[in-house]
Structure 1
Amino acid sequence: MKKLTILLLIGLSTTATAFAQQTNPVTDAGSPVADLPLSASRAEILLPVLFISFLLVILTSLIKYFLDFRLKNKLIERGMQEQLTAYLSAKNEHEKQNEVVKLSILFLGLGLGLLLTYFTAPVDLHSLAIMAMSLGLSYLAYFLYLRKTDR
């Protein structure tokens, strides 16, 4: 978890450093950045940060799956007890199913949030509130799903 936090902080600071520009509307009146509305400048900062954090999450998930696969193979090669390997594999099957359901609910919420944002144009601060609300409701739906399946 600490490594993921460090990777996210490095990615966010790299993005912020790469896109950090200070423009003065008086001296840079003809520049394309000075002519953009405030929401466009927010998008220039927010979208690269979100994109890099999304890539880091995908990368860490792939590394986790790869390391879990290697661990299972080593347990099988060393001839560990069959009960232990059966327990680990059964637990992972249940976790994989929950992971798939979680991602599908989150992407459904993300899609609905983007659809609502599209219909409530212009894109501004309220669009971020809509996206946050839709993702929050997605996590709530996932929580309710987990509570229902644990019974």
Structure 2
Amino acid sequence: MKKSFLTLTAIASTFAATAQNDSISTIDKDILVMIGMLVLIALVSFTVLTIIKRWMDYRLKNKLIDNGLSENIINSILQDDTNRNKNSNIKWFAILVGVGTALTIINYTLPLGIHSIAIMTFSVSASFLGYFFFLKYSAKQK
């Protein structure tokens, strides 16, 4: 439900950005295409990785059941880490802040070129570095 809401919001925001009056500066068409391609690549990659993970978990669970292990042991082996799930929101926040910062900087340094890719790379890597420090700090607090 949350993913579909986020996807619909992202799509609706692109329509709202192009529905502006000509007197107001609009988002360049190339930037919208680039954002759309990035979102599409991310969604396809996430979907493929999720399908592969679930398929491999299913195969592993079947093999463990065939070997005669109890269901409690199998569930404890395949149980997700709750801390990882809790920090997932912070990770996506850091990534989206990095992408948003990069797109803002790219908008002010038009025309698009190789420097745009460099700006995007450095901004996203800086957001991952911030996430790393967050994880390091939160591990010390425990």
Query: Structure 2-normalised TM-score?
Result: 0.53
1:92 & 1:68 partners in 2: Cα distance? 17
Looking at structure 1, the residues matched to 132 and 90 of structure 2 have their Cα atoms a distance apart, in angstroms, of 11
Give, as a single letter, the amino acid of the residue that structure 2 aligns with 1:63. Answer: I
Q: Residue 118 in 1 paired to residue 107 in 2?
A: yes
Of the three residues 71, 77, 80, the one matched with 2:71 is 80
Matched, 1:59 2:50: no
Q: 1:96 aligns with which of 72, 77, 85?
A: 85
Bigger RCO of structures 1 and 2 (CA < 8 A, at least 6 apart): 1
| Partner Cα distance (1:115, 1:62) in 2 | 30
How far 1:96 sits from its partner (Å)? 1.1
- Compute the RMSD of aligned alpha carbons: 3.7
Deviations 1:27-60 (A, max 9, x none): xxxxxxxxxxxxx8xxx9x989856643442113
Q: Which residue of 1 aligns with 2:127?
A: 138
TM-score of the aligned structures, taking structure 1 as reference length: 0.50
Give ranges in structure 1 of 5+ residues lacking alignment: 1-39
Aligned partners of 1:93, 1:65: CA distance in 2, in Å? 17
Residues 104 and 65 (structure 1), Cα distance of their counterparts in 2 relative to 1, 3 Å cut:
farther
Aligned 8 A contact 2:57 2:78 in 1: no
Distance 1:112 1:49, change over 3 A: closer
Give the aligned residue type for 1:60: V
Indicate which of 65, 81, 94 corresponds to 1:105.
94
* 1-structure distance, mates of 2:86, 2:53: 14
Q: 1:52 to 1:124 in 2, by over 3 A?
A: same
Q: Secondary structure at the match of 1:81?
A: helix
Alpha-carbon distance change, 68 to 105 in structure 1, aligned in 2, over 3 angstroms: farther
* Structure 2 gaps, min length 5: 1-29
Percent identity between the aligned chains? Answer: 22
**Counterpart for residue 127 of structure 1:** 116
